[in-house]
Structure 1
């Protein structure tokens, strides 16, 4: 389907196409945010009244439903996003594993506590769900990332209205169908189909108690402004990054090159944790850059089901590919030197080749997330300059150091501003068993993954006694004394 026909089809509904082929794979009607929130509000009290054990067992059934449909689910993700089938299978695995991880996280992060106090009293700490939470999902991990909000929120006793990205509605519909098949009531998790207008409408509904968002920094900033006069509503933002990868005097150049390639080009660079800037020591970088370019030359870029399997598929659509190309050209116009060009090998399809570009010394280098397979090389004179360059961004999501010195890693960890800081590991692939979030333009101090339990329920402190006891020791007149 060409762009004009696609736009025409979307006037009356939403259409999803396979980025690798252009084939239409799904269509549906635009939903109504107010109606979906009302349905979730009506269903929420009964879900919240169930025991934690009941909700946990329901979510375990959900994991089993997804497990039974894993191949079908992965094929759909590949077709709708263009990511290689092997990668889509890992995403489905993450959806399944999220359940047990969230059960453990809820027990650890939101436990019930009873403490002894004076005179036989007790202090209890328990947690309550917020109510109805909106979840806005991204297209790069259309199942795993929204699921990372939905599962812990359901365990805590919330109801959900989920709006998937307008670029991946079929995956969102499949995910919600798995919850319903597992026994999560239809009112407790609602699917809202639509684009940015429906997302804004959902965020503005007075009957939601909070919003959980994964997406761009620009959209996150807009949501933060929208919620600025609503402190009674929880807002969790998981945003993007302009992430640095520093390679410093490593004796393992081949491994360092592979880590750089993995950091920059997995998912065609469409990861918020992807390395955007490769920071290297001036005069010591040529072997590393040569190895990276050799790996780029070997990299298979093809459709998701190709044999052999590709390292990269296309980006999500032509508009995304056009935008990445515009950002590349902007760097070129500022004086950057391409080491491996960003090419568009197939007309009318959003394939991009992995690109490497030297931006050392260019003026007014944009501090933005290039959400595609572009890695910028920056040469610096010493390790202090490397740390300064790593922090030369308004973002603060992920950073990694490849090097042999524990002392240098200690300095790096202490001085770099990021929520994920790795040593001799890629910038991406953060574990779900740990907190995940960033600083600055990368988030609002609401880390997700294992810490998602923190924003899915709120603590309630209770002072408790088995019978009332009270005394007023000061400020009262003696009843036995007469006034003059």
Structure 2
């Protein structure tokens, strides 16, 4: 029986970019299981050499890679070029992290060696998102391969072409057959993959899906589950001196990638009466160019990923208004048949909106009377990914850092600025294991402690009958 077909289209034009079969989890798992023993026994130096060859291949194909990501996601070309650069850079970062976090350790005392080494889990599934279809799954795949695991990778059904392109780069780098296996499809294929005989799953996506996976894996504690699930991130502006710079930080935090970053600021919390900053944010928002990836001049942001996503955001926007929000800049759709949305700003002071993540270009403003109320508003979320403070002094930031609930806490920088050489992730509904970044080495292999001696030594010296 032939497999169903998946079709990927350019969100800006509707033009077909890629078609291919969906499903095939059982066959991919069989290939992975067959390849797993050989890859696990491949010396680390050889695995590193293949990873470096992949980085070189990504650099050599950088422009084609970036243009494909732009075509399939709608993101501006300037942004997808930075994504490709991050894909290549992740290799050396992961090599360093693997040595630091999961390298061999040991000592010797009295002829007994104490050793700490790590083993791969075996077959790991990776479920990737559409917003960074190369960079984010790559943050799982590279450390998992370095650790000696084999991979079943299901990309988002919105971005299959990028996944196939990346897999071809790994093949060009010399990765053996069966070590990286692509499985295409939607949520049903993802559920099949999560329920298959795998040794772990590495996920980047929505809190709804992540919670379902956590429930499914609760009965399987022997399988690793690493989750990165987004947030409803606060950005607090307090005692700001440079209004223009603060407005630029707010706009970058809220609207980069058309609001489709898990670290985008969703809520701007300000002191009641601080209208200068709001006016500056609105004025800068009005100047943002929304357009297609290859437009000149380059747009600040492109469309959201699909018409379905745009429809959902429009429903969420209506919900904010129904909750009492006062529109400062409306969420507009330039064409009913395409997902181009304008950056939108709404004042939600005194309202009780849903804590759901609106994954798009929507910024809520919340006015508070004092600093304690600002902290309380920032923490009024079940998520805990990113939080930021603009303004204030070192003492104020220290207090913000200590009292905020987030895995990323920035000062005078956008909330969506995070170093690839640092752990990434959050608490609460934002996930676990600091997935897809520097600490990925921690969950891609398990530690094995050993006591060893070259010969049997010692004996029982007490508690024996004569």
Tell me, yes or no, whether TM beats 0.5.
yes
Q: 1:24 aligns with which of 8, 16, 36?
A: 16
Q: CA deviation at 1:352?
A: 0.3
| Cα pair 1:439 1:445 within 8 Å, conserved | no
Q: Distance in 2 between matches of 1:404 and 1:361?
A: 24
Of the candidates 73, 77, 88, which is equivalent to residue 80 of structure 2?
88
2:402 to 405, 408, 414: 414
CA separation of 1:37 and 1:12: change in aligned 2, threshold 3 A: closer
Q: CA deviation at 1:333?
A: 1.1
For residue 445 of structure 1, report the CA deviation from its aligned partner: 3.7
* Equivalent position of 1:297 in the other structure: 286
Taking the TM superposition and a 5 Å limit, the aligned residue runs for 1:139-154 are 139-154=130-145
Q: Does 1:427 align with 2:415?
A: yes
SS at match of 2:40: helix
2: distance between equivalents of 1:427 and 1:328? Answer: 22
**Paired residue for 1:239?**
229
1:129 equivalent in structure 2: 120
Structure-2 separation of matches of 1:312 and 1:432: 23
Q: What is the TM-score with the length of structure 2 in the denominator?
A: 0.98
2:91 to 96, 99, 124: 99
Checking the alignment, whether the CA contact within 8 Å between 1:418 and 1:439 is kept in structure 2 is yes
Q: Give the alignment of 1:405-484 within 5 angstroms.
A: 405-478=393-466
**Secondary structure in structure 2 of the residue aligned to 1:279:** strand
Q: 1:347 aligns with which of 336, 344, 364?
A: 336
Q: Which residue of 2 aligns with 1:78?
A: 70
- Structure 1, residues 28-81: CA drift from partner, whole Å, max 9, x if none? 011311111110110011111111110000000000111111000111000000
Deviations 1:153-194 (A, max 9, x none): 001111001000001011111111111111011200000011
1:190 aligns with 2:178: no
1:473 deviation in Å? 2.1
Partner residue of 2:55 out of 63, 66, 86: 63
* Cα root mean square deviation, aligned: 1.1
- Aligned-partner Cα distance in 2 for 1:453–1:74: 27
Aligned-partner Cα distance in 2 for 1:198–1:12: 11
The alpha carbon displacement at 1:447 in A equals: 3.9
- Quick one: distance in 2 between partners of 1:368 and 1:276? 10
Query: 3-state DSSP class of the match of 1:133?
Result: strand
| CA drift at 1:139 | 0.2
Residues in 1 aligned to 2:208 and 2:24: alpha-carbon distance in whole angstroms: 24
Aligned to 2:37: 45
User: Which piece of structure 1 moves more, 299-308 or 25-34?
Assistant: 25-34
Q: In the TM superposition, what whole-angstrom CA distance separates every residue of 1:384-409 from its partner, at most 9, and x where no partner exists?
A: 11001000000000000001311110
Cα offset, 1:296, TM superposition? 1.0
1:446 Cα shift? 3.9
Structure 1 residue 444, shift from structure 2 partner: 2.2
1:373-412 equivalence runs, <5 A? 373-412=361-400
Q: Secondary structure at the match of 1:193?
A: coil
Q: Is contact 2:140–2:435 with CA below 8 Å preserved after alignment?
A: no
- Give me the whole-angstrom Cα distance separating, in 2, the residues matched to 1:201 and 1:298: 45
Q: Which runs of 5+ in 1 are unaligned?
A: 1-10, 479-484
Compute the TM-score of the two structures, normalised by the length of structure 1. Answer: 0.95
CA distance in 2, matches of 1:448, 1:61: 20
Identify the range of structure 1 (411-420 vs 105-114) with the bigger mean alpha-carbon deviation. Answer: 105-114
Q: What is the CA–CA distance in structure 1 between the aligned matches of 2:435 and 2:239, rounded to whole Å?
A: 32
Please give the alpha-carbon distance, in whole angstroms, between the structure 2 residues aligned to 1:446 and 1:291: 35
Question: Which sections of structure 2, spanning at least 5 residues, go unmatched?
Answer: none
Encode CA deviations 1:120-166: one digit per residue, 9 max, x unaligned.
21100011111110000000000000000000000111100100000
* Structure (1 or 2) with the larger CA radius of gyration: 1
Distance 1:446 1:87 in 2: 24
CA distance in 1, matches of 2:446, 2:461: 35
Corresponding residue for residue 112 of structure 1: 104
- 1:326 is matched with 315
* Segment drifting more, 157-166 vs 446-455: 446-455
Q: 4+ runs of 1 displaced by more than 3 Å?
A: 445-448
**Aligned 8 A contact 2:420 2:437 in 1:** yes
2:269 maps to which of 279, 282, 286: 279
Which residue in the other structure is 1:4 paired with?
none
Q: CA deviation at 1:114?
A: 1.1
In 2, distance between residues paired with 1:116 and 1:252?
58
SS at match of 1:441: helix
C-alpha contact (below 8 Å) 1:19/1:80 kept by paired residues: yes
CA distance in 2, matches of 1:458, 1:52: 15
Counterpart contact for 1:446–1:455, Cα < 8 Å: no
Report if the CA contact (8 A) 1:153-1:456 is conserved.
yes
Q: How many residues end up aligned between the 2 structures?
A: 465
